[in-house]
Amino acid sequence: MKKKIAAGVLAAATLGSVLLGASAPAFASSGGCVSGDACLYYSPGLQGAKFGKGEYGNYDGNFGGGGAGNGQPVMNNAASVWNMDHYHNLRVHYREFSIRDSGPNQFVPHDQWVNLGAVPWNGGSVNMRNNNHSQSWEGI
């Protein structure tokens, strides 16, 4: 009887994991660059060390994978980003993430990459390269 209960609990947990995983690729952080992540690179042109983040929020963590910038903090150090999510557009924010934040941000369409650069803000511009604090996702 205990084996049947344990098997049932395991099956339910596995099914729950599969269902949650299938519905939330843009929001589950991987720590690496996998489908559904925003993959930030230390250097322009998707070069150097990288960091993957799939959820909303601040860039907490360090670049990895070798190359220029390996081990450096991600926050305010990214030069390019590849939106590896197939269904959501990405916004890279100049400031700490907040749902109500209407501050400077750079738009990255789904399945595309950009070099971070100047974006219009308050009649001037703000350079997003090495001035990137957080990210958010939006549906299409």
| Averaged pLDDT in 10-residue chunks for the chain of 140 residues | 39 41 39 88 96 92 93 96 96 80 89 97 95 88
Query: Which residues, 6 or more positions from 136, have their beta carbon under 8 angstroms from its beta carbon?
Result: 56, 90, 91, 93, 97, 99, 101, 105
CB atoms within 10 A of CB 59: 23
What is residue 48's predicted lDDT score, i.e. its pLDDT?
Answer: 94
What is residue 34's predicted lDDT score, i.e. its pLDDT?
Answer: 93
What is residue 99's predicted lDDT score, i.e. its pLDDT?
Answer: 60
C-alpha to C-alpha distance for 78 and 26, rounded to whole angstroms? 19
What is residue 101's predicted lDDT score, i.e. its pLDDT?
Answer: 65
Cα 37 to Cα 2, 20, 23, 28, 71, distances in angstroms: 40, 16, 14, 8, 19
C-alpha to C-alpha distance for 44 and 82, rounded to whole angstroms? 11
- With vertex at residue 70, the alpha carbon angle to CA 55 and CA 78, rounded to the nearest 5 degrees, is 50
What is residue 139's predicted lDDT score, i.e. its pLDDT?
Answer: 80
Query: Which residues, 6 or more positions from 97, have their beta carbon under 8 angstroms from its beta carbon?
Result: 56, 57, 58, 133, 134, 135, 136
Q: What are phi and psi of 47, to 5 degrees?
A: -110, 160
What is residue 103's predicted lDDT score, i.e. its pLDDT?
Answer: 86
The model's pTM: 0.76
What is residue 100's predicted lDDT score, i.e. its pLDDT?
Answer: 59
What is residue 96's predicted lDDT score, i.e. its pLDDT?
Answer: 79
What is residue 136's predicted lDDT score, i.e. its pLDDT?
Answer: 92
C-alpha to C-alpha distance for 101 and 88, rounded to whole angstroms? 18
Picking from 20, 38, 47, 126, the residue whose alpha carbon sits closest to that of residue 83 is: 38
